Amino acid sequence: GIAHVGLDGRWLRVNDKLCTILGYSREELLALTFQDLTYPDDLAASRAAIEKLLAGKMRTHLAEKRYLHKDGTIVWANLAVRVVHRPDGEPEYFLTVVEDITKRKQAEADLQATQAEMERLARFEVASQTASAIAHELGQPLNAIATFAGAALRLLQGGNADPGRLQHAVEACN
Query: Per-residue pLDDT tens for 98-127?
Result: 999 999 988 887 878 888 888 888 888 888
The model scores a pTM over 0.85: no
Cα–Cα distance measured from residue 84 to residue 86, given in angstroms and rounded to the nearest whole number = 7
What pLDDT band is residue 167 in, cutting at 50, 70 and 90?
Answer: confident
Residue 160 is predicted with a pLDDT of 65
What pLDDT band is residue 29 in, cutting at 50, 70 and 90?
Answer: very high
Query: Per-residue pLDDT tens for 42-59?
Result: 999 999 999 999 999 999
Residue 49 near residue 81, CB atoms below 8 Å: yes
Q: What separation in angstroms does the CA of 65 have from each of 4, 43, 69, 114?
A: 17, 9, 13, 24
Residue 133 is predicted with a pLDDT of 79
Cα-based angle 5, 10, 11 (whole degrees, multiple of 5): 55
The SS3 of residue 69 is coil
Residue 152 near residue 166, CB atoms below 8 Å: yes
